Chains A and B, each alone.
Chain A
Amino acid sequence: MCGTCGCGDDDHITYHKPNEENQEHSHLHHHGPVAHTHFHRHDDYQLSLHQHQGHSHDHSHDHEHTHDHPHDHTHDHTHLTTTQTVQIQRNILSKNELEAARNRGYFDALKVVALNLVSSPGSGKTSILERTITEKGRELNCFVIEGDQQTMNDAQRIEKAGAPVIQINTGNGCHLDAIMIGKALRQLNMSTNSTLFIENVGNLVCPALFDLGESKRVVIISVTEGEDKPAKYPNMFETSHLCLINKVDLLPYLDFDMEKFLNIAKTVNPMLQFIPISAKTGEGFDQWYAWISQQGVE
C-alpha cells in the first residue's frame, strides 16, 4: 500500500542496489483497476451533494389497463435485507505485524541480528554506519537497508564503506514498513550469522508505529539537538532498546545538559540503555560493538 497518495500500489517506492541506479527501473508500475483514492477535490464537489429542497419527485402513475393472468403464481420472495454487526476487534496494523513476524522468522533462521536505526534527520545515522562497516564490517558481516524519501546518496556511502546495501526510496512516504523490508530482503541475499542495519527514514514520529521484525530498535540522538527530544517524541524513545548519543566531540561547545537528557529519557523508558559516541572521533564505538555482539548471544 502506498502511504503517499493512498493508492493501492507501491508505485512510488523503489528498491535499488547502488550499481543499478542508472538502469531502467526494475520495479513494476501497476496502473490496473485497483481502487485508489486521491486527495484532490474538485471545485464542483459541493454541487454533487445538492439536495432537492422544497419539492419532491413523484414517480407514481396509473395503469389504465388490466392484465389477466391465466395461471396462478405467487411472488413469495421478499426484498428485505438484514443488517448485521461484525465484531472483528482487529488491530489496524495487523497486516504490518504479520509481515514483521515473517521477517523475524527469516532473521531467526539465518541467525541475523537486525537493528532498526531511527532518529531525526541529520543525527549521524549514516556516519555511524560508515565507521561501523569500515572498522567491523568483516567481523559483523554487515548488510544494510537504507530508507530515504529520495536519492541513492546514503547507499553509495555505505557501498563505498564496503557493505552490501539496498536503497529503498519511499517517495513521499515517511517511514519504512515490514512489507518494504520483506521485498528488500529478497534482493539482499543475506548470509547466515550476519548483522543487518536498517536505516529508517529520518523521522521520530511515524517509524515508531511500524515493527519491521527487527531484533532491537536503536534510537540515535545528537547532542546538537535539544535534551528534551525524548519528551517531545516519547513514542520513539519508549519503543527503543538502545540510545546512541552521537557527536559527543561537540559537547565542549554546546549547552547540551547530558544529565537532564538522561533523566528525561529514563522517565519515558526506564529500560533504555545509553552509549555516548562520536562518529567523527570513534569515541564510544568499542561499547557499541560490544552491545551488537551481545545481541547475537541472546
Chain B
Amino acid sequence: MHELSIAIQIAEIITEEAAKAEALTVTKVILEIGSLSGIEADAIELAVPEAFRNTICENAAVEYHYIKARAVCESCCNEFDPIDHYKICPFCNSLYTSFLKGKELNIKSFDIVKP
C-alpha cells in the first residue's frame, strides 16, 4: 500500500514545481520506476490517478517508464541482468556486485501549459 503514499508525493512535488513554473495545467507526466524500487506496477498505476484527482495534474496523461535491473561485477567487471535482488555474477560467481540500474523512483519530466 505504500504506492499510494508514493503517488501522493508525486502529486505534491509536481504541484509545487508547476506553481513555480506558473503553469495553468499539467498535461503529461513521465515517471521512471526501476524493477528493484519496491514499487508494483499495478498498484502505482491505480494510485496515481487517485492521487492526481483535484490537483493541477488531474488531466495529465501519465507515462510509466519501467526500467530493468542491470548490475556490474566488482571482481571481473562484466555487466549482467540480475534476477530480482539476486546479483551473483554469472561470469565468476562473485557476490560482490552492484546495481547500475533498477532502483529508480523518479519524476523524469512533466509538460505544462503556460499563459
Contacts and interface: CB of A to CB of B under 8 A. Distances in A.
B21 A81 contact: no
Contact of B9 (A35, A85, A87, A95): A95
Interface size on A, as a range, is 35 or more
Given A35-B55, A267-B88, A267-B95, A81 B113 contact: yes
Contacts, number: 114
A209 B9 CA distance: 13
A188 interface: no
Contacts of A37: 8, 50-51, 53-54
Interface string B52-96: 011100000000000000000000000000001110100000011
Interface of B is mostly: mixed
A56 interface: no
Main secondary structure of the interface of A (DSSP, over half): mixed
A175 interface: yes
A206 interface: yes
A270 B51 contact: no
Contacts of B50: 6, 37, 39
Interface string A56-86: 0000000000000000000000000111111
A92 B86 CA distance: 25
A94 interface: yes
B21 A209 contact: no
Residue in A8, A86, A93, A95 with the greatest tally of chain B CB atoms within 10 Å: A86
A234 B106 contact: no
Contacts of B114: 81-84
B111 interface: yes
Interface string A77-112: 000011111111111111110000000000000000
Interface residues of B, number: 42
A3 B4 contact: yes
Interface in A263-277: 266-268, 270
A235 B38 contact: yes
Interface in A4-41: 6, 8, 35, 37, 39
A91 B105 contact: yes
A160 to B, nearest CB: 32
A205 interface: yes
A238 interface: yes
Contacts of B53: 37
B51 A84 contact: no
Contacts of A235: 36, 38, 85
Interface of A: 1, 3, 6, 8, 35, 37, 39, 81-96, 173-175, 205-206, 208-209, 231, 234-235, 238, 266-268, 270
